[in-house]
Amino acid sequence: MSRTTATIPDDLTDLMEGAIRAGIFENKSDAIRHVLREYFEENRNERVAAAVSLYEDGEITLGTAARLAGVNRFEMREILREEGVELRFGPTDMDAARDEIEAARDLE
């Protein structure tokens, strides 16, 4: 799991602290994870756009893009074609191969 630093407006920080004290969230990390997951569950187009962007920049494999977008590999290929993104075939290194295997396992 990676670490990310964010600057959050005071009113949202106050609400987050209140939610933690009220037992809604365990801690700040839990609150942020929850909000991000909920956002991407409710906003499918943005979820797909994020996956397409990462794939296009070569940061993730097709399998990982499909998992992040919440679609299968065949649907992801079609989405990438519609977006004019060139498909890459085969993993480029062992880490990418492992990512493909994990993504395939997650889709089962």
What pLDDT does residue 57 have? 94
What pLDDT does residue 92 have? 65
Confirm whether pTM is higher than 0.75. no
What pLDDT does residue 98 have? 78
What pLDDT does residue 12 have? 96
Residues 44, 70 contacting (CB under 8 angstroms): yes
The full 3-state SS of the chain, as one line of letters, equals CCCCCCCCCHHHHHHHHHHHHCCCCCCHHHHHHHHHHHHHHHCHHHHHHHHHHHHHCCCCCHHHHHHHHCCCHHHHHHHHHHCCCCCCCCCCCHHHHHHHHHHHHHCC
What pLDDT does residue 88 have? 85
Quote the radius of gyration of the chain (alpha carbons, Å): 17
Tens digits of pLDDT across the chain (108 residues) = 888 898 999 999 999 999 999 999 999 999 999 999 999 999 999 999 999 999 999 999 899 999 999 999 999 999 999 999 999 876 666 777 777 777 777 765
